[in-house]
Structure 1
């Protein structure tokens, strides 16, 4: 076996940002490319004889040399093609005893070779797994590992894969698809491998976008995997989401633009300290998912494919139920349902019905019921594609449920008004108040609309013995009170004055035995609050309704409140720091506290 080496010329190194003359910059300027070693492969009969010998004797120097050759040699396309043909002729010998030889071949770079080499490699793998399925796990792991790019690679421009990367992925998925058809056991192995190799959430954005791109590709030729793969994807994206709070994203975006320079030999673009790495990765991943949803549900001509849309909705609602809904205070992942519902009004109606059934089901945990009603309120408030009749119908459902609940409590001699006991009732009331205020321009356009609001009997809701205004968020209560007084729908300020005199917190012991102090105010979690990610927001902006209140109208309303009777004076005198209740752009409930 002859060996020869080829030295390459010293690579030129660009001037470093480091000062000239330092030891580090001098070391970088002296880096040479390592010499590449190439070997002449043995004849096919020789390879066959080597494998026969090691099978009989258990060890062979020629066999060890062959393994070293496969592991360390820089094989030319012709060499690799010849080797694969020789290995294919020896398939019957490649049992567990020759596992090292199989692993050595699987470790050879092949995806970016010429068509002949790629074809020979794919043929070898299919024949190998068909004859010896105990190699299947290692083969599947190797193929899935190829989803992950080199860490030195840069992000795709606008998330669009390069042609060279697409060619590699085509070769991988073509082979995977054949294996899934020929060897059914590979299906479970593939799902396990996809879970195992999913990148950690702090890995680079490009690693995640490549891996997600290949997961979506896998779903296209294996639709039966879609539910499991979507569950995997969103389980990981939820972790990113909770590790990238809106406050941190906005703080990073508003921080200084001081640049962090990369090494001169790095071909990636310059980064700045204002970037939030996890948020950027989440942004890129969600953009790819939104594109997938839109493309999957539409034909090439751009028409909605109803059968595909229904199928994808059922898969997404399953993932939503198991992963997203039970997770508290996510910020962006849930917008996948916002985009999905925008495709057709019947999808929106189905999603609202799904959530409302959870709200009404006493067997569901109260925290899930509260989250469900918050999703309902946030969706019909923020989505500009929700029909007006659907908005009114949802409000009517809430009002009927509230009055039914009040009716069951009014018949009791004593009512336990603890927030924990009636948490779902209070959440539905707050959701009802929130939507009425948020969509007031639509709900108060005509006299007929005002009559509809009067039919909801809001006055009875705010004056009932359970006193929902006592636990509502201050911004919701104040805006609702101002609106209902202006249109004589309810009179809330006398109730709110009494509530202001009863601000004693509740102290109780939780299920773990810890002492907890509660201020008896509901959480302000509205899932579809303003979206702050940049790239993926392009799919959200056209579907989204911002809360806008004209300054002139706000000043007139405030002036009217100041000149009201003394019963309202406490709103401006009770707390000189009332501005602390104001909500920022990115926090619930989307409108500001009047004070």
Structure 2
């Protein structure tokens, strides 16, 4: 029976044999192995004893001494002198360390070497490099062992402010120095490294410190191996997306509100914090904290990568490269994922570094909206990203805002003109969902950025040129399917500045509410309320630490202040219109309590209770 099977069949923590109880030098313990009564006594010098044991095993398959040697290396407490002596002897035996001696190589790899003195670290690194240079079939095992060192003890505390301790820094430097050497000497290690980093990535329910330690080291790899950054970014964000969707925004808000009200011990709050899935029990608040720390790491990486270390100025070439690396990640991982709340802010942050990047991102999204071969759900998601970025980002200049609105409006009017040529228009939301999403995007942007668009006569003329009235009175009736709070805020703004009169259409829609009943692709009966099911990806950022990188570039909604209207205009509105109007245009004295109605909530981007 091999030493591996003997160890795994017994207890997970087998008691050490008597030979290991006393602290002795490696030389004396090897001598004891050689002088046990059941073994043949050798008179070879110590420097050749390891070679002799290994050669004897290879030639005769006599495994007793070989197994004892492996147990000694694995289980004994080895001093720096012992490790140094063992590595010197192992280096002399590299030529015979083939696949038959895999267990011996594995035992050497299990040595705790990262926190030893500089001599031992250097000898260990030299041994590993020489080993893989001679026998590259050990590369997979070596890389996996090194990547495993990226996972700390679960009992270790988090790093203060995300900054590694001196001990951890030294340990990480030693690990990455060796990995860097291996990538240069053995090219196949690059692919093995990506594979190992992927397979050993911590499960999303692991502790915060395990994730921050692991991600810190994975990002460190990119400093000396930048060519694998697309693969690493794809891996990291695929894992962060899983965390994000498992830490719902609504539950984070409820937890934060409960914490502010000091009801954290209430049963309802506990039910928010912990949720059981089909596979595991998830602490939602802890998961949100982990996501916060991990995104802070990613944001710090993006900031440092896009800025010159000496001057602090934006490095255009590096920023452009990072953007091009992130676009495929966004397209394949973030954009198709429904209901993420924080991960997508990495694009928001990159866009804030340079207006050219923001413009390129908007153009990338607009191409997807206009692509008829793209899935409608992705076209809708893309236009929601456009609307949310333009509305929320304070770094989007007025010229870009107007250009985006002009682009959206032209597309809408072209779509309307094609529908007017048809005798009977089918206004089913499912058929025209992209059109309705683009209309809602225009309404949303106008409501959010109206102060920038009405501060001069020139800008008001621009708004008039969008012909918003034709949009709301078209046969497709976009106000019918828009989220009510979007329609209400847009109606208030357009009425205020006499751009369009929406209340008559909204009143008519309120009197003609009829759900649509249909069978989906699986044959199930679905009852639809004919409202767009959308979300705005750049709703307020809730995570505390990473949010500090976002808040300086973020625009909160500024409430519409009621202005005096002509009495005749007021009489033209119905009671429902008055209610909606007064509900949204709150008085100055009540502005504080109403200030969040258009910020976020049940309808993304807005707080609305129907």
TM-score by length of 2: 0.85
Q: Distance in 1 between matches of 2:313 and 2:340?
A: 32
Q: Distance in 2 between matches of 1:561 and 1:154?
A: 66
Mapped pair 1:135 → 2:145: no
CA contact (8 A) 1:179 1:186 kept: yes
Tell me what 1:38 maps to: 23
List aligned pairs for 1:134-283, cutoff 5 A.
Answer: 134-253=137-256, 254-255=258-259, 256-257=263-264, 276-283=285-292
Q: CA deviation at 1:251?
A: 2.1
3-state DSSP of counterpart to 1:523: coil
CA contact (8 A) 2:448 2:558 kept: no
Tell me what 2:278 maps to: none
Tell me what 1:263 maps to: none
3-state DSSP of counterpart to 2:498: coil
CA contact (8 A) 2:246 2:284 kept: no
Question: Once superposed, what is the RMSD of the aligned Cα atoms?
Answer: 2.5
Over 3 Å counting, the alpha-carbon distance change for 1:169 and 1:359 in structure 2 is same
Over 3 Å counting, the alpha-carbon distance change for 1:508 and 1:121 in structure 2 is same
Over 3 Å counting, the alpha-carbon distance change for 1:257 and 1:508 in structure 2 is closer
Match of 1:315 among 325, 331, 337: 325
Match of 1:442 among 435, 438, 452: 452
3-state DSSP of counterpart to 1:546: coil
3-state DSSP of counterpart to 1:539: coil
Q: CA deviation at 1:39?
A: 4.0
Q: Distance in 2 between matches of 1:338 and 1:584?
A: 18
Q: CA deviation at 1:567?
A: 3.5
Tell me what 1:117 maps to: 120
Q: Distance in 1 between matches of 2:568 and 2:185?
A: 78
Match of 1:47 among 28, 47, 50: 50
Q: CA deviation at 1:193?
A: 0.3
Tell me what 2:517 maps to: 507
Mapped pair 1:488 → 2:491: no
Tell me what 2:274 maps to: none
Question: Which consecutive unaligned segments of at least 5 residues does structure 1 have?
Answer: 1-34, 260-272
CA contact (8 A) 2:602 2:608 kept: no
Tell me what 1:299 maps to: 308
Tell me what 2:37 maps to: none
List aligned pairs for 1:509-524, cutoff 5 A.
Answer: 509-524=519-534
Tell me what 1:538 maps to: 548
Question: Which consecutive unaligned segments of at least 5 residues does structure 2 have?
Answer: 1-19, 31-45, 267-281, 587-593
Q: Distance in 2 between matches of 1:179 and 1:347?
A: 36
Q: Distance in 2 between matches of 1:59 and 1:511?
A: 66
Q: CA deviation at 1:422?
A: 0.4
Over 3 Å counting, the alpha-carbon distance change for 1:415 and 1:292 in structure 2 is same
CA contact (8 A) 1:39 1:74 kept: no
Tell me what 1:568 maps to: 574
Q: Distance in 1 between matches of 2:142 and 2:61?
A: 24
Q: CA deviation at 1:48?
A: 1.1
Tell me what 2:463 maps to: 453
Instruction: Output one character per residue of 1:143-179: Cα deviation in whole Å (capped at 9) or x when no partner.
Output: 0000000111000000011111011111111111111
3-state DSSP of counterpart to 1:381: helix
Instruction: Output one character per residue of 1:197-248: Cα deviation in whole Å (capped at 9) or x when no partner.
Output: 0000000000000000011101111111100000000000000000111111
3-state DSSP of counterpart to 1:332: coil
Over 3 Å counting, the alpha-carbon distance change for 1:303 and 1:583 in structure 2 is closer
Mapped pair 1:343 → 2:349: no
Tell me what 1:431 maps to: 441
Q: CA deviation at 1:589?
A: 4.7
CA contact (8 A) 2:251 2:284 kept: no
Q: CA deviation at 1:120?
A: 0.7
TM-score by length of 1: 0.87
Tell me what 2:270 maps to: none
Tell me what 1:549 maps to: 559
Tell me what 1:81 maps to: 84
